[in-house]
Structure 1
Amino acid sequence: MSQFTDICRINVKGGDGGAGCMSFRREAFVPKGGPDGGDGGHGGDVVIQADAQLSSLIDYRFKHHFRAEAGTHGKGSRKDGADGKDLILKVPMGTVIRELDPTTMEPAYDLADLTHDGERVVVAPGGTGGLGNPHFVTSTRRAPAFAQKGEPAIEHWIELEMKLMADAALVGFPSVGKSSLIARMSAARPKIADYPFTTLVPNLGMVRAGEYSYVVADVPGLIEGAAEGKGLGHQFLRHVERTALILHVVDITGSYEGRDPLEDYRIINDELCRYASDLADRPQIVVANKCDASGVADRVQALKMAALEDGHEFFAVSALTGAGLQTLMLACGERVSELRRAIAEEQAAAPAFDEEKWERARKARDKRFRVLQEEPGAWRVTGTNLERMVVQTDWENEEAIIYLQHRMARMGVDDALIKAGCKNGDEVRILGYAFDFEGIDDDEDYEDDVEFIEFDVDDEELATEDSQPEVGEEDTDVLA
């Protein structure tokens, strides 16, 4: 029997970018050939893609680290390095992808929700290849003796959570006969026994009744307090969220504990509502199971009245004898068909899936940088794009450092530091590097007692060297 895995955590890292080349054309009878270094190749992306053929996350249960291919370095004669190949990780439809906080390892925010076959999202972009020295030619810098290093790709942890994509879900207390029902209704063969929590993982079954066919999920038993996670409630309830129809199964005999079926019905509905308020409005069919037992007529009638009062259809069945099951299956098929049409109309009216939505959100986050005072006279500047520029700089090359200072000034880093309260002579830290700040004129005012400040940067204009003003001697004092 294949294993079922519905949540896991993996570590992903795109490929590192290749370094740009610093080279000059050397050829007979061409004394001033000029710079001809090639660009480094971009690192490959780690991409997660939904696949309708998969039913669990078992591929990620034992392997947790995934790396894309790195780009190669540029060479002379304007030969660019090759881009690294993307690494595509396939997951079942209905998988939610979340970024994990590196400190607490708790989910920080959603990266994507893949609900259709073929949908994909980049979860670990590859590093940008460094530019070769021809990119840094200006009217005053005719022979740049530097190139950019390749950008190291970011490594981080993400969480994959699969929520079943079934048409209907069987829910109820443990041992009410859900597994017996799905075994009767479909070809599914779950484990069946007379003790609670026999079912610990969801089972899927394809039901065919008349002209209808649909998928039913057997969700492990819920108990009171499931909405707060009691009895693994959260792990089980997540699989109800995506189903269009709830089949609420009630043991009309009260099970071996002698529970009140009507009370069971109220408790489960309350737990569904508390877990996700929209589940209270989800179409529901109430199924009274074990109606072949003697002396249950009054209980059946009481439960039926309660279900009808709540606006739910009601069926009395027996998973043991099969009584009433065909009628239930046909009614479910008809209801699922109606819900599918409604969902299809809703999806047709909704905007088409935007595969670049999550990528745009990531780029917007990358543009921000933050200024934080770590201690008196010492400031830390953080930000993805800013740090990318720093790691791509050759710190053994004075020209490269001057170019970095110029770009940081254009991004507004100096202005941000001044606004936060940084003074001349204060230490500014970026990654593992530190500078003395010398960006304030003597007659400028600045603010004190600011703990941190965050900025959005529109750095599209920094994408090409042509759009930047030339670097002269006056640019060297941005951060000395």
Structure 2
Amino acid sequence: MENTFTDLSHINVRGGDGGAGCMSFRREAFVPKGGPDGGDGGRGGDVIVEADPQLSSLIDYRYKHHFRAERGTHGQGARRHGRDGEDLVLRVPVGTVVRELDPQTQTPSYDIADLTQPGERVVVAPGGAGGRGNIHFVTSVRRAPAFAEKGEPAREHWIELEMKLMADAALVGMPSVGKSSIIARISAARPKIADYPFTTLVPNLGVARAANGQSFVAADVPGLIEGASEGRGLGHQFLRHIERTALILHVVDVTGGYEGRDAVEDYEVINDELASYAAELAARPQIVVANKCDLPGTEEAVRRLREVADRDGHQFFAVSAATGAGLDALVSSCAAEVARLRAEAAPSAPVVDLSERWERERERRDRQIRIIREERHAWRATGAQIERMVIQTDWENDEAVAYLQHRFARCGLDDALAKAGAVTGDEVRILELAFTYEGKDAAPDYDELPDEDDTLSEGEVE
């Protein structure tokens, strides 16, 4: 079992829509035939998920589920381009896995990214491209194009955020020293608690929150024994969890337990085992916690343990898991120490963007065209790319509609229909619109128009 705290949130994300391109012609005194000067629409903002080392939970996404980036503004005449929309950055804890959800079943379809390092980010909802103004559609034979593109609508979809956060602090110590009782007191975790050794067999995790709002994830690690570093008991398995935490809370039973152990000896044994297992554990920040201080006759053990903790340069707290005494101060100190360690771990290098791989996958899926026969002479064509083309077209402009037919031919739709068995005169349905199929060689001649993006030149058929 990994020492992780899992939390899930489903959120709906949408980038900003692209602004519309402008259809405009230059109008100046003494220039009777000014050329086209319509500007492009601005690109919509992206929705970005970024790993933030200062966060410990997905609580920000528990009650708010819809997130939208800003749309781009429309282009204007005189070649004035629209402003791009602002990006929306959603911050999540380090260790968050981002997944695409199936729109029908709301079950994960595939992983988008695993944000394991501070500052890593991924675009989960790209903004729509701005529509091109009519300055882009000038050719040697078409000097005054009277159409422009509408802005590309952004895609809206649901994603899953799964936090697999490593514990910030690990409670370690001999069996039955009260680690489970402490974590139950300082967090909402409800571990099994009993008065016999090795009640805890797997780590329990809980989020502890200080009075000032700072929080950290604490792990109750099963009790260690002498020889754990050599594999006695389940030593290696338990010590593996401690390796992955930034802070050690060393819990000592100052009553000595049933065996009448000495508190200082217990403290030394556990520290020896940590150092023997991994040398860096000996230098890890540690807070010494003297538990069960509410019981009579523990004053001398507390005094001696405090002295050795001071000698080793560790903070010391005398607490009682039974009464809660001293736990508020312990939690506040732990939260402050964890915040300091997180700040030290914050990235100094440039932010790592994991969007490129996912964007390539998204573009590949967008290019796919699926043809389904709905009736004897009626076909349904679906695909993110061709649907965007339809939405971006001004259907009240004959030139724009003719240009759409050219785009269909270039992206492979005509070939896909022919391959599926469509014949001239069949009806082709895309979204809520219907077209008459005229054969794959019947597209208008727009060879002199500027080339579009390479992504529009490759048709894929399912």
Q: Under TM normalisation by the shorter chain, which class is it?
A: 0.5 to 0.7
Indicate if the aligned counterparts of 2:180 and 2:192 stay in contact, CA closer than 8 A. Answer: no
Which residue is 1:102 aligned to? 103
Distance in 1 (alpha carbons) for counterparts of 2:374 and 2:223? 58
* Paired residue secondary structure (1:466): coil
Which residue is 2:50 aligned to? 49
Matches within 5 A, 1:392-403: 392-403=392-403
Query: In the TM superposition, what whole-angstrom CA distance separates every residue of 1:304-351 from its partner, at most 9, and x where no partner exists?
Result: xxxxxxxxxxxxx99xx6863543345336645669xxxxxxxxxxxx
Which residue is 2:20 aligned to? 19
Indicate if the aligned counterparts of 1:167 and 1:336 stay in contact, CA closer than 8 A. Answer: no
Distance in 2 (alpha carbons) for counterparts of 1:193 and 1:20? 58
Greater Cα offset, 402-411 or 321-330: 321-330
Task: Report the Cα offset of residue 116 of structure 1.
Answer: 1.1
Task: Report the Cα offset of residue 430 of structure 1.
Answer: 1.2
Matches within 5 A, 1:11-410: 11-166=12-167, 178-180=179-181, 189-190=186-187, 202-203=206-207, 218=218, 247-249=221-223, 324-332=266-274, 335=277, 356-410=356-410
Task: Report the Cα offset of residue 114 of structure 1.
Answer: 0.7
Specify the code of the residue in structure 1 equivalent to 2:37. D
CA gap of 1:400–1:219, structure 2 versus 1, over 3 A, is: same
Task: Report the Cα offset of residue 70 of structure 1.
Answer: 0.7
Which residue is 2:9 aligned to? 8
CA gap of 1:425–1:140, structure 2 versus 1, over 3 A, is: same
Distance in 2 (alpha carbons) for counterparts of 1:85 and 1:43? 7
Indicate if the aligned counterparts of 1:179 and 1:218 stay in contact, CA closer than 8 A. Answer: no
Task: Report the Cα offset of residue 85 of structure 1.
Answer: 0.5
Specify the code of the residue in structure 1 equivalent to 2:206. P
Indicate if the aligned counterparts of 1:170 and 1:249 stay in contact, CA closer than 8 A. Answer: no
Greater Cα offset, 376-385 or 125-134: 376-385
Specify the code of the residue in structure 2 equivalent to 1:404. L
Query: In the TM superposition, what whole-angstrom CA distance separates every residue of 1:75-134 from its partner, at most 9, and x where no partner exists?
Result: 111111111110111111111111111100111111111111111111111111100001
Q: What is the TM-score when the length of structure 1 is the normalising length?
A: 0.61
* Paired residue secondary structure (1:88): strand
Indicate if the aligned counterparts of 2:224 and 2:270 stay in contact, CA closer than 8 A. Answer: no
Indicate if the aligned counterparts of 2:97 and 2:111 stay in contact, CA closer than 8 A. Answer: yes
Which residue is 2:451 aligned to? 467
CA gap of 1:440–1:63, structure 2 versus 1, over 3 A, is: closer
Distance in 1 (alpha carbons) for counterparts of 2:191 and 2:33? 88
Distance in 2 (alpha carbons) for counterparts of 1:336 and 1:203? 26
Query: In the TM superposition, what whole-angstrom CA distance separates every residue of 1:380-423 from its partner, at most 9, and x where no partner exists?
Result: 22222222111110011110011011011011111111112222
Q: What is the TM-score when the length of structure 2 is the normalising length?
A: 0.64
Query: In the TM superposition, what whole-angstrom CA distance separates every residue of 1:234-271 from its partner, at most 9, and x where no partner exists?
Result: xxxxxxxxxxxxx55599xxxxxxxxxx9xx7xxx9xx
* Paired residue secondary structure (2:358): helix
Which residue is 1:414 aligned to? 414
Indicate if the aligned counterparts of 2:187 and 2:206 stay in contact, CA closer than 8 A. Answer: no
Higher relative contact order (CA 8 A, sep 6+): 2
Distance in 1 (alpha carbons) for counterparts of 2:271 and 2:376? 72
* Paired residue secondary structure (1:55): coil
Distance in 2 (alpha carbons) for counterparts of 1:325 and 1:155? 56
- Let me know the Cα RMSD of the aligned residues: 4.6
* Paired residue secondary structure (1:6): strand
Specify the code of the residue in structure 1 equivalent to 2:379. W
CA gap of 1:409–1:180, structure 2 versus 1, over 3 A, is: same
Distance in 2 (alpha carbons) for counterparts of 1:167 and 1:69? 36
CA gap of 1:22–1:168, structure 2 versus 1, over 3 A, is: same
Distance in 1 (alpha carbons) for counterparts of 2:371 and 2:54? 47
Indicate if the aligned counterparts of 2:123 and 2:355 stay in contact, CA closer than 8 A. Answer: no
Indicate if the aligned counterparts of 2:25 and 2:36 stay in contact, CA closer than 8 A. Answer: yes
CA gap of 1:329–1:168, structure 2 versus 1, over 3 A, is: farther
Which residue is 1:255 aligned to? none
Indicate if the aligned counterparts of 1:95 and 1:161 stay in contact, CA closer than 8 A. Answer: yes
Distance in 1 (alpha carbons) for counterparts of 2:10 and 2:91? 14
CA gap of 1:192–1:57, structure 2 versus 1, over 3 A, is: closer
* Paired residue secondary structure (1:161): strand
Indicate if the aligned counterparts of 1:178 and 1:218 stay in contact, CA closer than 8 A. Answer: no
Distance in 1 (alpha carbons) for counterparts of 2:353 and 2:268? 38
Q: Give the gaps of 5 or more residues in structure 1.
A: 206-215, 221-246, 252-261, 273-278, 284-288, 296-316, 340-351, 443-461, 469-480
- The count of aligned residue pairs is 350
Specify the code of the residue in structure 2 equivalent to 1:139. S
Indicate if the aligned counterparts of 2:147 and 2:397 stay in contact, CA closer than 8 A. Answer: yes
Which residue is 1:437 aligned to? 437
Indicate if the aligned counterparts of 2:41 and 2:72 stay in contact, CA closer than 8 A. Answer: yes
Indicate if the aligned counterparts of 2:6 and 2:164 stay in contact, CA closer than 8 A. Answer: no
Distance in 2 (alpha carbons) for counterparts of 1:70 and 1:146? 22
CA gap of 1:374–1:219, structure 2 versus 1, over 3 A, is: farther
Distance in 2 (alpha carbons) for counterparts of 1:203 and 1:83? 40
Task: Report the Cα offset of residue 378 of structure 1.
Answer: 2.4
Distance in 2 (alpha carbons) for counterparts of 1:107 and 1:360? 19
Query: In the TM superposition, what whole-angstrom CA distance separates every residue of 1:196-239 from its partner, at most 9, and x where no partner exists?
Result: 6999852479xxxxxxxxxx96558xxxxxxxxxxxxxxxxxxx
Q: Give the gaps of 5 or more residues in structure 2.
A: 195-199, 210-215, 226-232, 245-251, 282-351, 453-462
CA gap of 1:335–1:91, structure 2 versus 1, over 3 A, is: farther
